[in-house]
């Protein structure tokens, strides 16, 4: 227990942890502030103004249409060719109608908590996952490269216990940061919805769905933190985790996409990690094989492949487990030099 508490203290004392936490909070605050100012509550007066603008636009359009017909008829009387410019029958068949001028188009943006908060959970998860990656990697990477790990092993010559305790400390801090900032994030957007947008139709089911999305976000953040920690421990340097992240990003997001396209692989994106990240947050992600259709032969429904969040759980779970187990195995086997 003393080692666990010590590692929590060590992580909390680290300058990188504090700086990154401040940057994370500033980044999230920036997003909240931007949406606070960009969202406008749709009061009856605002809706009436939008309706008035819509009506005015409709009237202008009708006048313009009528003027166009008069001009066309005059041109036709002068024996000019009019079809190219005004259309057949001088465009009489294209009379504007009121339903073409939806008042919604004139409304300012209003944040809808029910419809949009799910996206913001994903945004929050992305930002905190980046924080998790840096904190997880540098906590153990810097310990290895600075000699701190060796010092600690001289005090606690139980390698797996030491590494496991450090990982537990990282995951604890990440859980704490995610829960606290997640609660503040939810509160902030609820307040935006209440005072600058709408919180209509937010039922218990919506909250339940948001809660489950939040848990998925927490799972992804912890997985990212654990993978970064394990990679840095395997390479005994923070740069190892950063290098692998860049490498996987380039290979997975660019290399595999290009290679599968050239090779004509069906549903090539199923080999790309971001597909599973999208499925994880959206519950499912549809891949479409447009090459399965020959549209010149008429209507065709392309073949589809559905990637579910359960598939994502399997991919991310196995990937995380493999890297973490490898880190512990190497910790047990390799000399500390």
The footprint of other proteins (CB under 8 A) covers: 2-3, 5-7, 9-10, 13-15, 142, 146-148, 150-158, 335-337
Taking the complex as a whole, the smallest distance from the CB of residue 152 to other proteins amounts, in Å, to 6
Q: Which residues, including other chains, have CB under 8 Å from residue 214's CB and lie 6 or more apart?
A: 121, 182, 186
Nearer to other proteins, 148 or 249 (CB): 148
Distance CA 81, CA 154 (A): 95
As a dihedral over the C-alpha atoms of residue 90, residue 94, residue 98, residue 101, rounded to 10 degrees, the angle is -100
Nearest Cα to 112, choosing from 189, 13, 54, 208?
A: 189
Can you name the residues that pair with 305 across neighbouring β-strands?
Answer: 287
Nearer to other proteins, 149 or 188 (CB): 149
Nearer to other proteins, 104 or 332 (CB): 332
Q: Which residues, including other chains, have CB under 8 Å from residue 317's CB and lie 6 or more apart?
A: 223
3-state helix, strand, coil in the chain (%, to 5): 80, 5, 15
Taking the complex as a whole, the smallest distance from the CB of residue 277 to other proteins amounts, in Å, to 34
Write down the H helix ranges in 147-237.
148-155, 159-196, 204-235
Is residue 306 within a helix (H) or strand (E), and if so which, with residue range? Answer: strand 303-308
Taking the complex as a whole, the smallest distance from the CB of residue 165 to other proteins amounts, in Å, to 9
Distance of alpha carbon 315 from the chain centroid: 18
CB 302 within 8 A of CB 292: yes
Nearer to other proteins, 97 or 146 (CB): 146
Taking the complex as a whole, the smallest distance from the CB of residue 145 to other proteins amounts, in Å, to 9
Q: Which residue has the tokens 């310990």?
A: 143
CB 82 within 8 A of CB 72: yes
CB count, 10 Å around CB of 162?
A: 19
Nearer to other proteins, 233 or 312 (CB): 233
Nearer to other proteins, 124 or 144 (CB): 144
Taking the complex as a whole, the smallest distance from the CB of residue 172 to other proteins amounts, in Å, to 16
Taking the complex as a whole, the smallest distance from the CB of residue 23 to other proteins amounts, in Å, to 17
Taking the complex as a whole, the smallest distance from the CB of residue 180 to other proteins amounts, in Å, to 24
Nearer to other proteins, 236 or 270 (CB): 236
Nearer to other proteins, 14 or 41 (CB): 14
Taking the complex as a whole, the smallest distance from the CB of residue 246 to other proteins amounts, in Å, to 26
CB count, 10 Å around CB of 197?
A: 24
């Amino acid at each position: 227990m003393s080692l666990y508490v010590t590692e929590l203290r060590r992580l909390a004392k680290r300058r990188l942890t504090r700086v990154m936490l401040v940057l994370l909070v500033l980044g999230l605050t920036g997003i909240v502030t931007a949406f606070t100012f960009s969202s406008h509550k749709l009061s009856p007066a605002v809706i009436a103004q939008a309706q008035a603008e819509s009506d005015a636009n409709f009237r202008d359009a009708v006048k313009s249409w009528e003027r166009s017909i008069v001009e066309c008829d005059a041109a036709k009387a002068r024996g000019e060719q009019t079809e190219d410019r005004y259309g057949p029958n001088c465009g009489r068949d294209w009379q504007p109608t009121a339903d073409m001028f939806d008042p919604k188009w004139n409304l300012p943006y209003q944040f809808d908590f029910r419809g949009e908060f799910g996206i913001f959970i994903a945004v929050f998860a992305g930002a905190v996952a980046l924080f998790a990656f840096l904190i997880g990697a540098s906590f153990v990477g810097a310990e290895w490269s600075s000699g701190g790990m060796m010092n600690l092993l001289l005090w606690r010559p139980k390698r797996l216990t030491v590494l496991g305790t450090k990982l537990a400390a990282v995951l604890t801090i990440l859980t704490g940061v995610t829960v606290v900032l997640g609660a503040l994030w939810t509160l902030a957007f609820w307040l935006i919805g209440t005072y600058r947008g709408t919180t209509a139709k937010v039922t218990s089911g919506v909250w339940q769905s948001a809660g489950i999305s939040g848990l998925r976000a927490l799972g992804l953040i912890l997985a990212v933190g654990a993978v970064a920690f394990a990679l840095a421990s395997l390479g005994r340097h923070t740069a190892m985790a950063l290098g692998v992240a860049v490498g996987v990003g380039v290979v997975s997001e660019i290399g595999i996409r290009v290679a599968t396209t050239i090779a004509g692989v069906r549903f090539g994106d199923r080999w790309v990690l971001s597909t599973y990240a999208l499925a994880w947050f959206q519950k499912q992600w549809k891949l479409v094989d447009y090459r399965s259709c020959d549209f010149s032969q008429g209507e065709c429904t392309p073949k589809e492949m559905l990637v579910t969040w359960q598939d994502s759980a399997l991919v991310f779970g196995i990937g995380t487990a493999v890297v973490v187990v490898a880190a512990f195995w190497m910790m047990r086997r390799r000399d500390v030099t």
